[in-house]
Structure formats: structure tokens, C-alpha cells
Structure 1
Amino acid sequence: MINPVGIIATAAEIIFPVFLLLGFKTELFARLSGFLLLLFALSMTFSTGIKGAFDYSVFTSAAAAFSLSLMKEKYLEIDVYLQNKNN
């Protein structure tokens, strides 16, 4: 079960940032990135101690991803273009 979970996590670590950079479904992928980073931070904390998670600023990155998911104003995103095209 370790290999499939590792493959899924690696795929998520590649796919989420690509969609965030493109600006496609930003709220969804920012929230998913926040959960992935939080899961990574908690696993780092339980396996090596909290110092490593703080040294690599994983909790800060998770908070930034959750903050991005709460932003309502959108600039230079594909979502804005698609929304304007549908209206």
C-alpha cells in the first residue's frame, strides 16, 4: 500500500502547483495544496519532531495555501477568462 500512496502523493505534488500557476480552479487547488502541506507537516512532526517542520516552514506554507483559497479577488487567472466568456 506504500507504493500507490507514494505515487498519488507525488502526482498531487506535481499537479496542484501546475494548476495554481495556471490559475485554474484556484480556490479548490489551493485548499487541496493546503491539506497536502498540512499532512506533510504533521507527518514530519510525528516522525522527526517539530523542529524540522518549523525549519522548513511547512506550517507557514500550508497557511499561505489556505489564505490563497480564501481570496475572492482574482487577477490574471484562467478562471476569470472562462467566467467572462460564459457571461
Structure 2
Amino acid sequence: MEKYLPYAVLFLRIALALTILAFVADKMGYLTQAGTAPILWGDWDIYTKQLQAILPFIPGNISEKLAIVATLLEIILALMLLFGVKVRWAAIGTGIYALLVAIVAGYGVGINAILHYSLLVISAASFLLACCPIYKFTLHGIKKRSTYHPY
């Protein structure tokens, strides 16, 4: 069974990265129009307004900057996972970020949003990826033509 672990880790990395990039594409309005059933936001304005509604104690100009920082963080973490750069750090960052988003969404919107958008699953999968002992298909593993053991 251990011989399949590198492939499972690769699949988990790609799945997490594509999930995060789908959230970013949704915020930017690339998936489809706002208000369509599987779409959460649909465009940037709706995303920032919803963020302001969830966090009413944060002033509007700071809320806009927070939205930009959060989106940039999502892009960076997703690309790190996708291309196998510092996988452990990217996985820990993704897990913490998804857990924080789940807490904030639970506080602002309710438990339904956390479960509907699988924020806890993303967080748990990220922490599981951080615990994996082998990262074979990473930039380090390809460069060295070996398996990268971070422990």
C-alpha cells in the first residue's frame, strides 16, 4: 500500500489546489453569472459586500483590503500546492486559512455555510497533507530524481 502513497499525495495536492482556485475564479466572476445555483459569489463586488456583512465590525476600506489579501493568499497557497513548492508549509497555511474562514463564516452566516462549502473538509485534508511523510512529485523531488522526505 505504501507504494501508492505518492500518487495519493499528488492527487490530494491537485484537488486542494483546484478547489481553492475555483473559489478565486468564483470571486472574480470567471465561473458563471452571479446568482446561478452552484456559484457562491459570482463577482468581486458581491464577495466584498458579503465579507463586509459577515464582518460588520471592520471598516469598509479595511474590508476591501482584507478581501484582496485573502484572495492573494489563496492564489499563492493554491499555486504552491499545484506546483509542489514547499508543500508542507502550503498545506499548513491552507489548513489554518480554511479553518479561520470556517470560524468567521460560522460566526457571520451560520453552520450551514461551513458544511455546504466543505471548509472543514478542506482544512482537514490540508492538515492531512502536511502530515504525509513523502512528497515524490514536487519540484524538489523532480530536481533530485528522488523522493522528498521532509521529516
TM over 0.5: yes
Q: Pick one of 36, 39, 56 that aligns with 2:97.
A: 36
Contact 2:89–2:130 (Cα < 8 Å) also in 1: yes
* Offset, 1:28: 0.3
For 2:140 and 2:130, the matched residues in 1 are separated by 13
Question: In the TM superposition, what are the counterparts of 1:1-40 in structure 2 within 5 Å?
Answer: 1-40=62-101
Partner amino acid, structure 2, of 1:51:
N
Question: In the TM superposition, what are the counterparts of 1:35-74 in structure 2 within 5 Å?
Answer: 35-74=96-135
Unaligned runs of 5+ in 2: 1-61, 146-151
Residues 21-64 of structure 1 deviation map (CA, whole Å, 9 limit, x = unaligned): 10010000110011111111111100111122112211011000
Larger Rg: 2
Partner amino acid, structure 2, of 1:32:
G
Identical positions, percent: 27
For 2:111 and 2:100, the matched residues in 1 are separated by 13
Q: Alignment RMSD, CA only? A: 1.4
Which residue of structure 1 lines up, in the alignment, with residue 38 of structure 2? none
- Higher helix proportion: 1
Instruction: List structure 1 runs of 4+ shifted beyond 3 angstroms.
Output: none
Partner amino acid, structure 1, of 2:125:
A
Question: In the TM superposition, what are the counterparts of 1:70-85 in structure 2 within 5 Å?
Answer: 70-82=131-143, 84=144
* Offset, 1:79: 2.2
Secondary structure in 1 aligned to 2:134?
coil
For 2:84 and 2:115, the matched residues in 1 are separated by 28
Unaligned runs of 5+ in 1: none
